[in-house]
Amino acid sequence: MVGTAQRQALRTLPKAELHLHIEGTLEPELAMKLAQRNNIDLPWHTVEELEREYQFENLQSFLDLYYQLMQTLRTADDFRDLMLAYLERAHNNGVMHAEIFFDPQVHVFTNHLDYNTVLDGLREGMRIGRERYGISGGLILSIVRDMSLESANAILDMAEPRKNEILGIGLDSAEVGYPPELFADQFERARSFGWHAVAHAGEEGPADYIRQALDLLRAERIDHGTHLLDDTELMERVARDGIALTCCPLSNLRLQVINSMNEHPIARFMREGVTCTVNSDDPAYFGGYVAANYEALAETRLSMEQLVALAGNSIDASFADDARKTTMRAQLDSWRTAHGF
């Protein structure tokens, strides 16, 4: 059992968060408040009623609720408040740097908001968060793979005039049946904007989707990558090339990608030399922010030394510049000295 001292240590452990959907930080209380503020009719009348929905059989059953609650976000202030609520929690979880996904196709084409409203709100939240908590980072525009390619192209058209305000392109949502190869053109265009590239692959989809993400999208990190376990040769390649995986243990458990935390492949990946990081994915839905994900791994056989190494990986695998990485590394070293690891 993880004791209070270890829990506290994992909370202050300096780390970066590299796999976090800002819409997945929408807590049920805030969703109900926004629904009221924005006159959105939800089928639930109390937070308790809404909370009964948080049982998921798979990725799709989660996405159904996630997209439904996203309609409560309407104004730049809503997006700013959402970002600030996350950054306050992130700060209390030891996060020094956060690279944050958002799903603009849904806000623009499903919910009829202006792209600039969404971007302005999120960036204002990040600006205040940096000032208040010292958290650095950026936004990753995630392509929603089960929406049309026309909408993906149109969102890139909208993003281009302000391309310098975005850190990278991502690929998320329902995975099976939407292989990375479908999005090669969009990723090539994003790279021409000077953006980094990452992609969800091998969460529910096969290991071949991971190969496609690397070969056809030139992904620099793989989000999840759980099914890498099924392809030893690819696992060796990922290890050799130092491609980082952004693992999200509580998400995998709650979406039944794994049956128990002891089954999580992260320990095996680490043994095989794969660079792994620990992240929260959609913490409002999966029962904990990033420190709780480290804690869940501590409950399995991962040692404190391994958890500290994972935090170090999160810094190294981030897209922060060298000066920022050096600062974060120094903070991690002071933490190690203070805690004797």
Residue ranges that bind ligand ADE, judged by CB under 6 A: 21, 24, 59, 66, 172-173, 200, 203, 251, 281-282
Nearer to ligand ADE, 9 or 20 (CB): 20
What is the distance between the terminal CA atoms of the chain, rounded to a whole angstrom?
19
Q: Which stretch binds Zn ion (CB under 5 A): 35-43, 153-161, 237-245, 276-284?
A: 276-284
Nearer to ligand ADE, 59 or 234 (CB): 59
Nearer to Zn ion, 66 or 294 (CB): 66
Would you state the structure tokens that stand for residue 41, as one six-digit string? Answer: 């009719």
Partner from Zn ion, ligand ADE, none binding residue 71, C-beta < 5-8 Å depending on class: none
Rg of the Cα atoms in the chain: 19
Side-chain-facing half-sphere of 4: CA atoms under 13 Å: 0
Known catalytic membership, residue 23:
no
Collect all residues with Cβ–Cβ distance below 8 Å to 25 and sequence separation of at least 6: 82, 85, 86, 89, 282, 283, 284
Partner from Zn ion, ligand ADE, none binding residue 17, C-beta < 5-8 Å depending on class: none
Partner from Zn ion, ligand ADE, none binding residue 204, C-beta < 5-8 Å depending on class: none
Q: Does 120 bind Zn ion (CB under 5 A)?
A: no
Angle at 62 between CA 260 and CA 258, to 5 degrees: 15
- Cβ count near 158 (within 10 Å): 18
Residue 315 CA to residue 16 CA, distance in Å, equals 6
Q: How far is the CB of 59 from ligand ADE (least distance, A)?
A: 6
Pick from 297, 170, 300: nearest CA to 313:
297
Residue 18 CA to residue 98 CA, distance in Å, equals 6
Side-chain-facing half-sphere of 65: CA atoms under 13 Å: 24
Q: How far is the CB of 323 from ligand ADE (least distance, A)?
A: 31
Q: What is the dihedral of CA 63, 21, 140, 252, to 10 degrees?
A: -70
Partner from Zn ion, ligand ADE, none binding residue 295, C-beta < 5-8 Å depending on class: none
Burial class (CB in 10 A: 0-12, 13-18, 19+), 325: middle
Q: Does 281 bind Zn ion (CB under 5 A)?
A: yes
- Amino acid identity of 150? E
Q: How far is the CB of 150 from ligand ADE (least distance, A)?
A: 20
Q: How far is the CB of 320 from ligand ADE (least distance, A)?
A: 23
Q: How far is the CB of 258 from Zn ion (least distance, A)?
A: 15
Nearer to ligand ADE, 35 or 59 (CB): 59
Residue indicated by tokens 């590299």: 18
Burial class (CB in 10 A: 0-12, 13-18, 19+), 99: buried
Beta pairing class for 95-102 and 136-144:
parallel
Q: Which stretch binds Zn ion (CB under 5 A): 1-9, 43-51, 105-113, 281-289?
A: 281-289
Would you state the structure tokens that stand for residue 337, as one six-digit string? Answer: 């000295």
Nearer to Zn ion, 74 or 283 (CB): 283
Catalytic one of 17, 23, 203, 204 = 203
Q: How far is the CB of 224 from ligand ADE (least distance, A)?
A: 7
Nearer to Zn ion, 103 or 295 (CB): 103
Catalytic residues: 203
Binding site for Zn ion (CB under 5 A): 281
